[in-house]
Amino acid sequence: MRTELVFAKLPEIKTELLAVLAADTQTGKGPDAKPQPLLLTSDPAVKAAAEAVLASGEYKAGANETLLLHAPAGLAAKRLLLVGIGKLGKTNIHLVRNAAGTAVRFAKPRGIREVAFVLPEGDTLPVAACTRAAAEGAFVGDFDPDTYKSDRKDQSVQTFTVASPSGADQKTLQAAFAEGVVVGESQNLTRSLVNEPGNKLTPTVLGQRAAAMAKEVGIACEVYSTDKLHELKMGAFWSVSQGSAEPPALIVMRYEPEGVKDGPVLGLVGKGITFDTGGISIKPSDNMEKMKYDMAGGAAMIGAMRAIALLKPKVRVIGIVCAAENMPDGKAQKPGDVQIAMSGKTIEIINTDAEGRLVLADGLAYAKQLGATHLIDAATLTGACVVALGMVNAGAFSNDDSTYEKFATALETSGEKFWRLPLGDEYIEMIRSDIGDIKNTGGRWGGASTAAEFLHTFAEDTPWIHLDIAGVAWNEETKAYMAKGPSGIAMRSIVEWVRKYSS
């Protein structure tokens, strides 16, 4: 998709579809209250073109509500699309991001290949942030998961233009727009990896895709396999992969900005289980096909490393993805086995379907060995987190309040929904083993927190954040601004967290 930022008068923009935001300014309550939609532009020609329909009361400007006008008088655009962002007093840049995605998804099935998106005017929403959000939303909206349909028709929007209000600082907006393009493209890279079926995206292929990305953006990438796991004594990681005919992949990406020799080193560790049967503790067959998405945490790290390489923050970053298949072969590990992790800690295997924390245990230890001073991991780790938070928020845990505060601030830019959940000694007690150091599950209750405490055992005192994205890595339904399928969750937030450390 070609993208551009223009500073032209709205009536003069020649495009197939001109999308303008509208908000509901109605403040009263009760049965007599009526929505009062307001276009977020001062352009008289645009306002005149929409005046009649706004006065009719049929359009309420609800979030992502659309209304299409053909051949609008006084405009060079062939069509005018109104996109709602809800109540005026509750507007934010994340609604603008979604509105841009809504405009693109509105255009795609109608054969409309050009979209011009008008940024909102006024002091309520910062124009630079809206510029970036609009670019991100356009890419998110353009993605569809129908990769392998034999009759697939390319419905992508070919050109997406963001139209800036008059008087805006062009240099600032160009920089914000460029950032949005990078982040949007990187989120779609994450989503495309998560979307791949397990027979197409094996651990080896995931390593190849990561290496190709790294070469494209100019960062170092090394991909190791079985021999390296044995050399590093990654017994936890290896135990997951030993039952599969597909070899594991240890993917190590490095971003080293020029002139940065000291300061923090951020370690990004992702779970990359390219297919998860559960192993010997095999999962029910219903919905097992979705277990191709069990590498969403690893994909988020690959997407994040791409964005980091292009945005160039002044901080060193190491990205590690631990990729494997979890299969029930005759060589697979069994409940009751004891594995020795890279750190030397011993793990009693209670359930082979609690495998993500095993690969992350060695990934976190390796990140520290490579010099990481701060850690963040992401994984589709527990169903317990989905029970707790539903398919709305992802879970977040941290052993360091100041480190988490940077992440919480990053969410203000990324717009992703995370909810901090507790750690504590009580959860550690639930995973103590009689035969070894710890068990890989603590039973049914508090499963998200016992899993996080398991990882805490390997992060130790290093400032660390754990993101459990199991409930939100896959959209079960199509949204107005995003297709059903992989969401790319966590990538945007991780990138913004990294940028908080930039010197």
Domain annotation covers residue 406: yes
What pLDDT is attached to residue 180? 98
- pLDDT tens, 71-129? 999 999 999 999 999 999 999 999 999 999 999 999 999 999 999 999 999 788 999 99
What pLDDT is attached to residue 26? 86
- Exposed / middle / buried, residue 428 (Cβ in 10 Å: 0-12, 13-18, 19+): middle
Q: Identify whether residues 206 and 128 lie together within a single domain.
A: no
CATH, residue 61 = 3.40.220.10
Average predicted confidence (pLDDT) for the chain: 96
Determine which helix (DSSP H) or strand (DSSP E) holds 180, and give its type and residue range: helix 170-195
Q: Is the distance from CB of 441 to CB of 372 less than 8 angstroms?
A: no
Q: Return the SS3 of 225.
A: coil
* Beta bridge partners of residue 224, listed in sequence order: 250
CATH, residue 246 = 3.40.630.10
What pLDDT is attached to residue 294? 98
Q: Return the SS3 of 484.
A: coil
Q: Identify whether residues 161 and 15 lie together within a single domain.
A: yes
**Overall domain count for the chain:** 2
What pLDDT is attached to residue 121? 92
Distance (Å, whole) CA 329 – CA 55: 67
Q: Identify whether residues 289 and 357 lie together within a single domain.
A: yes
Note if 345 is an active site residue.
no
What domain range is 11 assigned to? Answer: 2-166
- pLDDT tens, 359-412? 999 999 999 999 999 999 999 999 999 999 999 999 999 999 999 999 999 999
Note if 191 is an active site residue.
no
Q: Which of 60, 87, 254, 283 is catalytic?
A: 283
Q: Which amino acid is at 60?
A: K
Domain annotation covers residue 177: no
What is the secondary structure of 388-436 as a DSSP string? HHTTT-EEEEES-HHHHHHHHHHHHHH---EEE----HHHHHHTB-SSS
Q: Return the SS3 of 35.
A: coil
Q: Identify whether residues 210 and 341 lie together within a single domain.
A: yes
Q: Identify whether residues 88 and 154 lie together within a single domain.
A: yes
Q: Identify whether residues 444 and 296 lie together within a single domain.
A: yes
Q: Identify whether residues 30 and 98 lie together within a single domain.
A: yes
Q: Is the distance from CB of 381 to CB of 255 less than 8 angstroms?
A: no
Q: Identify whether residues 129 and 254 lie together within a single domain.
A: no
Is the pLDDT score of 28 beyond 80? no
- Rounded to two decimals, the pTM is 0.97
Domain annotation covers residue 181: no
Domain annotation covers residue 402: yes
State the pLDDT confidence band at 68, using cuts at 50, 70 and 90.
Answer: very high
Domain end residue (candidates: 166, 181, 215): 166
* Beta bridge partners of residue 80, listed in sequence order: 18, 69
Helix 170-195 × helix 491-499 angle, to 10°: 130
CB atoms within 10 A of CB 366: 25
First vs last C-alpha separation in the chain: 33
Domain annotation covers residue 172: no
* Nearest of 473, 433, 438 to residue 453 by alpha carbon: 438
What pLDDT is attached to residue 258? 95
What pLDDT is attached to residue 47? 97
What does the block give as tokens for 433? 């083993």
Which residues, 6+ apart, have CB-to-CB distance to 96 below 8 Å? 21, 85, 119, 120, 125, 130, 133, 134, 137
Q: Identify whether residues 161 and 196 lie together within a single domain.
A: no
Domain annotation covers residue 201: yes
Q: Identify whether residues 257 and 146 lie together within a single domain.
A: no
- pLDDT tens, 290-322? 999 999 999 999 999 999 999 999 999 999 999
Q: Is the distance from CB of 15 to CB of 115 less than 8 angstroms?
A: yes
Q: Return the SS3 of 206.
A: helix
Q: Return the SS3 of 297.
A: helix
Is the pLDDT score of 448 beyond 90? yes
Q: Identify whether residues 258 and 315 lie together within a single domain.
A: yes
Q: Identify whether residues 335 and 295 lie together within a single domain.
A: yes
- pLDDT tens, 329-359? 999 999 999 999 999 999 999 999 999 999 9
Distance (Å, whole) CA 278 – CA 276: 5
Domain annotation covers residue 179: no
State the pLDDT confidence band at 29, using cuts at 50, 70 and 90.
Answer: confident
Q: Which of 97, 108, 271, 357 is catalytic?
A: 357
Residue 213 per-residue DSSP state: H
Domain annotation covers residue 176: no
- pLDDT tens, 143-192? 999 999 998 888 899 999 999 988 889 999 999 999 999 999 999 999 99
- pLDDT tens, 11-23? 999 999 999 999 9
Q: Cα 160 to chain center, whole Å?
A: 22
* Percent of the chain clearing pLDDT 90 (strictly above): 95
Determine which helix (DSSP H) or strand (DSSP E) holds 85, and give its type and residue range: strand 79-87
Beta strands in 256-315 (DSSP E): 265-276
